[in-house]
Amino acid sequence: MFRTLILFIAIGVAVWLVSRMIKNKTTKSRPKNNQPKEIKNIVQCKFCNIYIPESDAIKYNELTFCSQDHLEQWKNK
Ligand SMILES: [Zn+2]
């Protein structure tokens, strides 16, 4: 009788822990509706003409480049 009671409590605690874990997981993985505001201006790489967000662009004077590599290549042109 006593052992059965312990078993029931153990199962109850286990179920509670699992349900709590699932709850935490679902709230964490919930997709966010708020889009980051960073991607606003799209600029063009002066070297390869690819379009990139301004936040990712390498700036050189008034010019923008998709990577440091292309900036160097453009300067050596
Ligand atoms: Zn480029």
Q: How far is the CA of 77 from the centre of ligand 1 (A)?
A: 13
Q: Are residues 70 and 48 part of one domain?
A: yes
Q: DSSP letter for 40, please.
A: -
Which tokens in the block code for residue 46? Answer: 């002066």
Q: Residue 54 belongs to what domain range? A: 42-75
Number of domains in the chain: 2
Which tokens in the block code for residue 37? Answer: 């505001």
Q: How far is the CA of 7 from the centre of ligand 1 (A)?
A: 65
Q: Could you tell me the pTM of the whole model?
A: 0.49
Q: Looking at residue 36, what is its pLDDT?
A: 59
Q: Are residues 71 and 47 part of one domain?
A: yes
Neighbours of ion ligand 1 (CB under 5 A): 45, 47-48, 66, 70
Q: Looking at residue 31, what is its pLDDT?
A: 64
For the stretch 2-43, pLDDT in tens is 888 888 888 888 888 888 888 887 766 656 666 555 557 899
Q: How far is the CA of 46 from the centre of ligand 1 (A)?
A: 7
Which tokens in the block code for residue 60? Answer: 């050189």
Burial class of 19 by CB neighbour count within 10 A (0 to 12, 13 to 18, 19+): exposed
Q: What angle do CA 34, 38, 44 make, to 5 degrees?
A: 135
